[in-house]
A and B are shown apart, each in its own frame.
Chain A
């Protein structure tokens, strides 16, 4: 068993009376893609900023790449790459000038810089467009260039703070392919997102809610909260009316809206689809379809948020 790339123990950060991150502990293994899931303001970014050495923890410790973040934030910066949702490139500079700037800031020189520059250009798919202004690039390219600039110095650990915000689905897919690739080469990736489909790419997921770690595990492990609580997907002409009827049934633990359908969490496997259909009819709701479904990450997320907020 190798030592973890990131170890977080009882990490806490307060801003005045507000506890942004509340006693959070977890490990991230080397080469792992570790997803951070949570609503806005759940404490994801604050946690990442502490791990990057930008923000001092109020209490608790975090070790990143073998360095205690609270003690030596500068040393951490050599071992990590960071990219945020803002794609922090200089828009008035060309592709090449951006790479040169970040190369200079990271202290890359000579042959190593040339090699990494070629890598970044290739990765972003911008070979031949070195002289283009960054502000003229489409979102996907800009984002891949930002990633390239963030990992110019070949950091063993990469933090991505909502890296795919505002980017089209095709680019997002391409971006995730890059992340998979990094992970295969042994880079540890810690990524925050609120796209639940993206979370499926992660090896393990930590769900944060109101500053606390609400759950942690693989997608499959997380879905086990629905062990013994089957989910029934109900389609009806009026989802809202159907939802109200379902909520009135003693067999139903809770409901939530999924697009035009309603997901009803049942209290046991005893309750069949036919039974639900019948009950709905009694309540005057004609369901067009009622069938059991596998819990999705969204079900898990909503369930966790609801339970930890209560």
Chain B
């Protein structure tokens, strides 16, 4: 164990000296958090809205106040002709406009479907999507109410496809942070571990260490421990930062959260080690890491694209993507306040992944060293 410690201390010193690795380990997570959290998806409130109410019925007024009362929209203008909307939008006085057609009240009372036009400034596509989501939510709610009042109506009041899924509050950061954690785990653990081992192969220091009387196990433990500590720190840092910046709730227990992160990172480190036994150069290691860990975590974990809407073949592939289980566990613990039993399945899957990959890595490393 003293030897493992010697390897660990050396690795820590190397990490500290190697600015690039340190950047990857600590700053990229924060950078991504800010980028995704603020720049791309931060909640938009007080969208300036112009209203053109051609109906002026009790129903149309209800709809307008539903928009305003949602808190997402501020009505800054009432217009009577469409040209005014164009002017206001041109001068950036408004970002959205609501146009209620004549006869809305009458049609609704009769149960005839009607469409409400919402114009959104699309300069920022992401903002527009979000605003569209708000508008859609407001309209759907109103629509549902009329439907309930008039049972048997053939179609909803207004049909609008909501654009943001899994987050009815449209608080995008809540849905984002678990994904980010999974992503960060992959960057720090897989890439840096894989590169750290392969670098030793490239520089010849691996051969020197192999000449020393140190077994594979102390070497692996000493080599991965620093990365485990650093990536755990980065993960906890992201959670804390999200709590401060985005009001991320931690509704479940911290212990469960740490357990989930620990198991996930354990698997990711093992993945990195495994890659290092296959790759002979840092470039190759990086590419393998990219294909085997990075992309699946982004694409196939449910982080960006919901698994349920993937083709069946891809859905099957997602079963071997550890981030999939990690996300379920994280969303459970963070957002739903799930207890141990509720996430036990996911934790078990993470554990299984880690154990299998560690065994593979050890077997390969033993063979390589023998």
Contacts and interface: CB of A to CB of B under 8 A. Distances in A.
A106 B212 contact: yes
B204 A101 contact: no
A102 B370 contact: no
A175 interface: no
Chain A interface size, as a band, is 20 to 34
Contacts, number: 79
Nearest to B6: A104
Nearest to B219: A105
Interface in B210-268: 210-215
A54 B2 contact: no
B205 interface: yes
Given A56-B370, A90-B205, A82 B211 contact: yes
Interface in A92-122: 92-93, 97, 100-107, 109
B9 A107 contact: no
Given A92-B17, A93-B17, A100 B210 contact: no
Contacts of B215: 74
Interface string B330-370: 00000000000000000000000000000000000000011
Contacts of B208: 82-84, 88-89, 150
B14 A105 contact: no
A276 interface: no
Interface string B263-281: 0000000000000000000
B79 to A, nearest CB: 66
A84 B13 contact: no
Nearest to A56: B370
A223 interface: no
A77 B214 CA distance: 9
A88 B207 contact: yes
B57 to A, nearest CB: 74
Q: Is the interface of B mostly helix, strand, loop or mixed?
A: helix
Contacts of B10: 90, 93, 97, 100-101, 104
Chain B interface size, as a band, is 20 to 34
A87 B7 CA distance: 18
A77 B208 CA distance: 11
B203 interface: yes
A179 interface: no
B209 interface: yes
Interface of B: 2-3, 5-7, 9-10, 13-14, 17-18, 203-205, 207-215, 369-370
B204 A86 contact: yes
Interface string A50-92: 0010101000000000000000011001101111101111111
B11 to A, nearest CB: 9
A244 B163 CA distance: 86
A105 B204 contact: no
Given A74-B213, A77-B211, A101 B6 contact: yes
13 contacts: A80-B211, A86-B204, A86-B207, A90-B10, A91-B203, A92-B13, A101-B9, A101-B10, A104-B3, A105-B209, A105-B212, A105-B214, A106-B212
Contacts of A83: 208
Contacts of B204: 84, 86-88
